[in-house]
Each structure stands twice: as C-alpha cells, then as structure tokens.
Structure 1
Amino acid sequence: MDSQSTMAAPAKDAASFLDLAIALVLNNWPALTLAVQSNWGGPTSGDKRDWLCGAISDMLNERPETDAEDLEDVLIQVMNDEFEVMIDDESAGNVAAEIMEFKAQTTRGEFGAIQELWETWQKKSQQKSSAASMFKKVDARDEDQETDEEEDDSEDEDVEMGEAPSLVRAPREKVEPEIDEDGFTMVKKKR
C-alpha cells in the first residue's frame, strides 16, 4: 500500500498531528524509503513502514517517558529485523530527535511546523504524480510512433542487401627466418 495515498489531512487534535508528523518523518527518511522501494522487507515493505508509524505512535502514547535514544534504538532494531538494513550513520538518531521535537510541539499545542511539513509533502507528491503522468504520456507517444514505423516498414518492399564484408583477417605471410653460414638465425628489427 502506498503511504502517499493513505496519509490524510491532519485533524485538529494534538494526537492526530503527532501521528501525521511521525508518518511524514518516517516517509522522508531516506534509509527507510530506499528499503521500502527496494522491497528489502519483502512484498509488504510498505505495510511494515505503516506498522512502524503506528508502533511509534503507540509507544509514545503508552510510555510518555520515552526519549530520543529509546526511539533511536527502536528504529535501528526495526530496520535490522524487518528490512535487514544496518543503520550505521546518524540518520536514525536524527529521525528520532525530529519525532521527539514534533511530540514536544504538539504537547505545547504548536502545529505550524507539522502543517508546513504536510504542505511540502503534498507538493512533492503532486510533482511526482505529474512527472509520472508526463512519463506515461511520452511513453504512450513513443509506442504510437513505433507502431506507425512498423506499419511503414511492412509496406516497403524488401531491399536487397549485398553480402556482408568478411570480418576474418587474411592470414599474414609467415616470414622464414634467415640462417647465416654458421647456422645462427638472423634477428631483424621490426618495421
């Protein structure tokens, strides 16, 4: 399931904004995005990402004492267990810190940054879908041209092609070595 189509506009309550922030941050994480696009978690990689979004939301709601380090450990563990990806850069820590910052903002009733992230996500999604539709249009046009060319070719008569040139080199003449009167072979310089 494509998470771009499943994310809905944010509601007005803090929990919904936090859930949206978690989903946006995880969908923007390059390591997870690559793992999902490459199906490193199997054919249900997208579902695993969606499950991770829900699991993090539940963890933050059920255990309010969760900090960025706890969340980073969970992200690293899930990437390793579910996608067979070892995260050895700082990206898991950055993602965890970003999610915890959004949690703090929603606790204070500040939703502006999440709203901006949501709008950026929507614009990026629209650009991707318009680029994909342009590709489909160009691809369809190319197929039409190929069909026309094939029809044109079938109407033409066969053209007599001459014999193909030989790709095999003619053997070189072997130069017999000169032997002097003492029985020694003469050494000649190459030209």
Structure 2
Amino acid sequence: MEPERKLTAPAAAAFQEGVGLVLSRWSALQLAVENEWGGRESRLKAEQLVSDIFSWVNFSTEPLYIDDLEEMLIEAMSSLNTVIEDGSIEEVAEKIMIMHEECLDCNFRSIESLREANSRRVPTPHVKQVVNDEEDSDEDDDDTDPSMNKDDSSNMIVDKPESHAVEPKTKQAVEAEDGWEVVGPRRSRGKRN
C-alpha cells in the first residue's frame, strides 16, 4: 500500500489560497455572509470554513473522501442558516478535491486561473431564484414544495452588485439576458398569503 501523499509547504499555501478563491466565488455562501444569515459572525464562519477545509486536507491521517467534504460544507452552510439544494455543494467539493490533487502534483494552473479571474471580475447583479409566472403552467403544481405558497409571485431575488461574489455567467445569468426580467429585491422577507 502506497503511503498517503502530503502537500509541500508551497503547495499547501497555494491550496489554502485556492480554497479561499473557490469559496469566494460560491454565490450561496457569499449571499449568506453578506446578509448575515448566520448572525454577526457570518464572515468569520466563512473564513473558518477555509481553515477547516485546509486542516482537514492537510492534517488528515485518513483517506480523503468527497462525501466528507460535502458534509463539512453542508454543516458550514447550516451554521449560516442556509440550506443548499442547487447542487453547488457537490460542485464546490469537487473543485476543491481536484485542486488538492493538482497541488499534490505541484500543478497550480487552476489556482492561477481563479486568481486571474478574480482580478478581472466586474460587479454585476445576478439572479438567485427563478420564478415561473406563467398562469397556464399548472403541470408543475403537483411537484411543488408544500411550504411554498402558490400565490407568491415574487420568488425572484436579485442581489445588489458585489465585488467579491460575482459568478461567471451561469445558465441563469444567460437566461436573464435572453428575456428574463430582473426585478429588485422584496421589501419584506415574510411570506405573503
């Protein structure tokens, strides 16, 4: 059995920076931090997540499994009172695990491209939820979450520009340019009946 490979000191520093860059581009995390959904310590909780991931990877004596990393991300988002159901936890975990493998081989290209992308980023609003306002589209009503009020037509939230959390154009952002109407944030966060 081959011994577990460890990151060199330069690779460990690059990996820790890379984890921070990946998390800074995770819009769900950044939205939770900016809105302090986890309380006043929301930013500290996000920073602690970077340290926790780095420690888990760098000091673990057990093999690293992506499921464990996903669980760590779920717990961190839970501490920010945020439930993620958009598949981004799996995506973030996969990026971090791939980055770790690259750093083991002293390959820092993905970190360099993240660093470069962050330096070019321009703040733009981005859509958080998509709303289906079509009155004649009743076919999806049976599959809706019972906690969602079918009469609530303002499910779309648009973030104000953020210099630290703008994602590259996603399918939602492209759709916004192709005819989706971008609306301002709701004034009250309470449910309407």
Matched pairs, number:
116
- Output aligned runs, 1:37-116, within 5 Å: 37-63=34-60, 65-80=63-78, 82-116=79-113
Bigger share in helix = 1
- Answering whether residue 13 of structure 2 is matched by residue 16 of structure 1, we say yes
Aligned AA (2:88): S
- Identify the residue that residue 175 of structure 2 maps to in structure 1: none
- Identify the residue that residue 29 of structure 1 maps to in structure 2: 26
- Output aligned runs, 1:154-173, within 5 Å: none
CA distance in structure 2 between the aligned counterparts of 1:65 and 1:24, rounded to whole angstroms: 24
Find runs of 4+ consecutive structure 1 residues off by over 3 angstroms: none
1:34-65, Cα deviation, whole Å (9 max, x unpaired): 10111101112111111110010001111151
Instruction: State the Cα distance separating 1:113 from its structure 2 match.
Output: 1.5
Task: Note if contact 2:15-2:99 (Cα within 8 Å) is conserved in structure 1.
Answer: yes
CA distance in structure 1 between the aligned counterparts of 2:28 and 2:63, rounded to whole angstroms: 26
For the aligned residues, what is the CA RMSD?
A: 1.8
1:83-132, Cα deviation, whole Å (9 max, x unpaired): 111122211011000000000000011011211111111222xx44xx99
Task: Note if contact 2:14-2:108 (Cα within 8 Å) is conserved in structure 1.
Answer: yes
CA distance in structure 2 between the aligned counterparts of 1:113 and 1:60, rounded to whole angstroms: 18
1:1-58, Cα deviation, whole Å (9 max, x unpaired): xxxxxxxxxxx81001100110011111111011011110111211111111001000
The structure with the largest alpha-carbon Rg is: 1
Aligned-pair identity in percent equals 31
Give unpaired runs (5+ residues) of structure 2: 1-8, 124-160, 163-193
**SS state of the match for residue 30, structure 2?**
helix
CA distance in structure 2 between the aligned counterparts of 1:45 and 1:122, rounded to whole angstroms: 24
Task: Note if contact 2:57-2:64 (Cα within 8 Å) is conserved in structure 1.
Answer: yes
Instruction: State the Cα distance separating 1:67 from its structure 2 match.
Output: 1.6
Higher relative contact order (CA 8 A, sep 6+): 2
CA distance in structure 2 between the aligned counterparts of 1:34 and 1:59, rounded to whole angstroms: 25
Instruction: State the Cα distance separating 1:74 from its structure 2 match.
Output: 0.8
Task: Note if contact 2:45-2:76 (Cα within 8 Å) is conserved in structure 1.
Answer: no
CA distance in structure 1 between the aligned counterparts of 2:30 and 2:88, rounded to whole angstroms: 12
**SS state of the match for residue 33, structure 2?**
helix
CA distance in structure 1 between the aligned counterparts of 2:75 and 2:40, rounded to whole angstroms: 20
